Amino acid sequence: MQSSATALRRFSAAALASIAALVSASAHADSQINLALVGPTTPVAVNQVIDVRLRATQEQIASLVGTSFVAIDCILQWNPKHLQLVGLTTAGSVPLLSSYFPTPASDYTGINEANPPADGNALYYALAPLGNPVQVPLTGVQVVTFRFRVRTAFANTTINIAPTLTVLNPADTVVYDGTVPGLDVTGSLTPAVVSQTPPCPADLDHDGTVSSSDIAALLNSWGQPGAADINGSGAVDAADLAALLSAWGPCPGNFK
């Protein structure tokens, strides 16, 4: 009986030690899975449909937690004048139980006013298969791909992952750990920057209008290669000046 009690105490001590180690690991697990948006690597054009991938990567921290997830709540923000969210696709992504934008009727936060959202704010949910958390290696995994249509001309525009947003009720971008139920293991949030090739090469200062400031920039580069070499001949000359004067005035799209 004595030995049984001793064995039980030893087992209890070992169990408590394991729990303590897990809790200690959890205390340092608040930044172990990063989220990043990855957009096109080449310039886009008006009316083009582009893919923006959501990727999750694991930070290299020795821990029992923060290496997998059971759910992700992700808040997207973009300029609706520049881009239109047209939907999402799971092609090429990790298998999930659910991957979706909650409908306005089921979104208690009030972020999603339509499906897909159109006002520049969107709430996205990813749920791992039951009992099978998604493992996140150091090289990362693709969670989902968002699709946008380019609406207008712009030089650059950014799609952000917002850490928090309140419309009707507060909402957060959260990665929930696959080991400890309810543990927030959200790390860094990285936006995607989308660029366009300017349709107005004579607008050397990129202010949306070809004007006297562009002439000044061209004259300062006379005889040299560079952005002011509008016709690509290798040097700024009279032909480039003529091209600039023929484009005088507001640029198409005006980059606003």
Q: What confidence tens digit (pLDDT) does each residue in 202-236 have?
A: 988 877 789 999 999 999 999 999 889 988 899 99
d(CA 137, CA 33): 10
Confidence at residue 254, expressed as pLDDT on a 0 to 100 scale? 55
The burial class, CB within 10 Å (0-12 / 13-18 / 19+), for 59 is middle
How large is the greatest C-alpha to C-alpha distance in the chain, in angstroms?
103
Whole-model pTM over 0.85: no
Confidence at residue 6, expressed as pLDDT on a 0 to 100 scale? 46
Helix H or strand E encompassing 244: helix 238-246
Confidence at residue 174, expressed as pLDDT on a 0 to 100 scale? 97
What single-letter DSSP state applies at residue 21?
A: H
Tell me the domain boundaries of the chain.
30-195, 209-250
Task: Find the angle CA(117)-CA(118)-CA(122) to the nearest 5 degrees.
Answer: 40
Confidence at residue 16, expressed as pLDDT on a 0 to 100 scale? 39
CA distances from 216 to 72, 187, 228, 240, 243 (A): 52, 47, 10, 13, 14
Q: What is the CATH number of domain 30-195?
A: 2.60.40.680
Confidence at residue 207, expressed as pLDDT on a 0 to 100 scale? 79
Same fold: 30-195 with 209-250: no
Q: What is the CATH number of domain 209-250?
A: 1.10.1330
152 touches 253 (CB < 8 A): yes
d(CA 190, CA 159): 9
Confidence at residue 198, expressed as pLDDT on a 0 to 100 scale? 64
Q: What is the identity of the amino acid at 221?
A: S
Residues of the chain with pLDDT under 50: 1-2, 4-28, 30, 255-256
Confidence at residue 126, expressed as pLDDT on a 0 to 100 scale? 98
